[in-house]
Amino acid sequence: MNDLSAYPVTRRWPPKQPEVIQLYSFPTPNGVKVSIALEETGLPYEAHTVRIGQNEQHDPAFLSISPNNKIPALLDPEGPGGQPVALFESGAILLYLADKTGKLIPADPQGRAEVLSWLMFQMGGVGPMFGQLGFFHKFAGAEIEDPRPRQRYVEEAARLLGVLERRLEGRDWVAGDYSIADIALAPWLRSLVEFYEAGDLVGWGALSRVPAYLERFLARPAVQRGLVVPPRE
């Protein structure tokens, strides 16, 4: 078993099972991407709650493996070459887990490229835009009198939903078989309508394929397990 003592994060959040993957996260849309992927792949892991409401993501121990002070982060004691490896950024972690297991991403180059394109669609578009919309609609941004910032994100979120609605014509999943692209996208759709309560703003009711897609995703047992990991404490 590899020694994890060189990683300060393991002193702040001591592992009970140091031989398995260590996940440092909180159940946000980005956080549950990784717990869902871990549940889907069947990799053994131990989850540690990083309480972002108490700014634990700024703890120097957490920053040692996630320099951008964002959850999730992951420490794999059996990384490439059998050596420990630490990762941050949810998209990078999803890709790492898919490559490690040979699951949730096609082996052929064309299929892989398709999945990666839609993964980046989420990372570069859906996540940032939905998050900004949530800020201006539900949180402190709602106090800003200038309507233009909020309206920009409303319009861009609606546009992105339109892209996804068109893509899902005749498809159950966004890039062929169920993949890390779906695991990246669907939690943000759920957050948009349930947590941010912004469905009416972006025309959710006029969509048909995207809501059905979200329902298919949420019906998966591994998704249901991953959505509550780690516990909020």
Region 79-96 average pLDDT: 97
- 41 and 128 in a common domain: no
- Residues 135, 216, single domain; the answer is yes
The sign one gets for the Cα dihedral 230, 121, 212, 99 is negative
DSSP character string of 93-154:
HHHHHHHHHT-SS-SSHHHHHHHHHHHHHIIIIIHHHHHHHHHHHHSGGGG---SHHHHHHH
pLDDT higher than 80, residue 142? no
Residue 28: domain span? 9-104
Structural domain includes residue 228: no
State the average pLDDT over residues 178-196.
98
Read off the pLDDT of residues 126-137 as tens digits, 9 standing for 90 and up. 999 999 999 999
Percent of the chain residues topping a pLDDT of 70: 99
Residue 139 has pLDDT above 80, yes or no: yes
pLDDT computed for residue 1 by the predictor: 54
Whether residues 65 and 89 share a domain: the answer is yes
| Rounded average pLDDT over 67-76 | 98
pTM exceeding 0.85 = yes
CATH number at residue 158: 1.20.1050.10
User: Does any domain span residue 231?
Assistant: no
In 10-26, which positions are buried (b, 16+ CB within 10 angstroms) versus exposed (e)?
bebbebeebebbbbbbb
In a domain, 88, yes or no: yes
Query: Residue 48 belongs to a domain with what CATH number?
Result: 3.40.30.10
In a domain, 209, yes or no: yes
Q: Please check whether residues 202 and 130 belong to one and the same domain.
A: yes
- Residue 116 and residue 60 share a domain: no
Q: How many CB atoms lie within 10 A of CB 149?
A: 14
Tell me which of 80, 104, 128 is where a domain ends. Answer: 104
